Structure 1
Amino acid sequence: MLSSNIERIKRDIENLARFTSTPGQGVTRFTYTGEHKKAMDYIVEEMKKAGLKVRVDSFGNIFGRREGKKNLPPIMVGSHIDTVKNGGAFDGQAGIVAGLELSRVLKEKDLKLDAPLEIVALIEEEGGRFGGGLMGSRALAGLFEEELYNLRDEEGIILFDAMKYFGLSPEKHEEARLSKGSIACFIELHVEQGPVLEKENKDAGIVEAIVGIAQYNVTIRGRADHAGTTPMNMRLDALLKASEVIQNINRWARQKDDYTVATVGKIKALPGASNIVPKEVEFSVDIRSINESSMKDIAMKIEDNLREMNGEGFETKLTNLLYVKPVFMDEKIRSVLNKTAKELELSTKDMVSGAGHDAMILSNICPVGMIFVPSHRGRSHCPEEFTSFDQLKKGIDLLINAVINLDGEIQAGLDFFPAGG
Structure 2
Amino acid sequence: MLKTRSRIDSQIEKLSEFTATPDKGTTRLTYSQEDLKARNYIKSEMRARGLQVREDGFGNIFGKLEGTIEGAPSVMIGSHFDSVPNGGAFDGPAGVVAGLEVAALFSEYNLKPKYSLEIVALIEEEGSRFGGGLMGSRGIVGLLSDYEFANLKDKRGVSTEEAMLKIGLDPSLPRKRDPKTMKAFLELHIEQGPILEDHNIPIGVVEAIVGLTQLEVTVTGQAGHAGTTPMNRRADALAAAAAIIAQLPNLAIDEGEETVITAGRLNVFPNGANVIPDKAVFTVDIRSGKEDHVLNMIEKTKALVESFNQNGIHTSVEKLLYIQPKKLNEELKSLFKAKSKELKVSWMPINSGAGHDAMVFSDFTDVGMLFIPSKAGLSHCPEEWSSSEHLEKGIQILFEAAKVLTEAEG
Alpha-carbon RMSD across the aligned residues, in angstroms, is 2.2
Residues 60-113 of structure 1: per-residue CA shift (max 9 Å, x gap): 111111122323211110001111112111111111111111111111111112
Partner residue, 1:182: 181
SS of match in other structure, 2:200: coil
Q: Between 225-234 and 194-203, report the one with greater CA deviation.
A: 225-234
How far has the Cα of 1:268 moved from its partner?
3.2
Code of the aligned partner of 1:116 = S
How many corresponding residue pairs? 407
Alignment check: 8 A CA contact 1:336 1:406 kept: no
Partner residue, 1:170: 171
Alignment check: 8 A CA contact 2:262 2:284 kept: yes
Q: Give ranges in structure 1 of 5+ residues lacking alignment.
A: 412-421
Structure 2 matches for 1:294-305, cutoff 5 A? Answer: 294-305=293-304
Structure 2 matches for 1:4-403, cutoff 5 A? Answer: 5-71=4-70, 72-145=72-145, 146-172=147-173, 175-225=174-224, 232-273=231-272, 276-310=275-309, 312-403=311-402
SS of match in other structure, 1:32: coil
Alignment check: 8 A CA contact 1:179 1:365 kept: no
Alignment check: 8 A CA contact 1:20 1:27 kept: yes
How far has the Cα of 1:230 moved from its partner?
5.3
Distance 1:321 1:381, change over 3 A: same
Structure 2 CA distance for aligned equivalents of residues 290 and 327 of structure 1: 9
TM-score, normalised via structure 1 length: 0.91
Code of the aligned partner of 1:200 = H
Structure 1 CA distance for aligned equivalents of residues 361 and 102 of structure 2: 20
Structure 2 CA distance for aligned equivalents of residues 351 and 330 of structure 1: 14
Structure 1 CA distance for aligned equivalents of residues 29 and 228 of structure 2: 45
Code of the aligned partner of 1:39 = A
Alignment check: 8 A CA contact 1:4 1:397 kept: no
Structure 1 CA distance for aligned equivalents of residues 184 and 17 of structure 2: 31
Q: Give ranges in structure 2 of 5+ residues lacking alignment.
A: none
Structure 2 CA distance for aligned equivalents of residues 274 and 69 of structure 1: 65
Code of the aligned partner of 2:102 = L
Q: Between 385-394 and 266-275, report the one with greater CA deviation.
A: 266-275
SS of match in other structure, 2:119: strand
Structure 1 CA distance for aligned equivalents of residues 240 and 267 of structure 2: 13
Structure 1 CA distance for aligned equivalents of residues 278 and 386 of structure 2: 45
Distance 1:407 1:169, change over 3 A: closer
TM-score, normalised via structure 2 length: 0.93
Residues 231-273 of structure 1: per-residue CA shift (max 9 Å, x gap): 5555433333323322332111111232211001222334445
Alignment check: 8 A CA contact 2:20 2:27 kept: yes
Structure 1 CA distance for aligned equivalents of residues 105 and 172 of structure 2: 38
Structure 1 CA distance for aligned equivalents of residues 231 and 32 of structure 2: 47
SS of match in other structure, 2:103: helix
Percent identity of paired positions between Structure 1 and Structure 2:
46
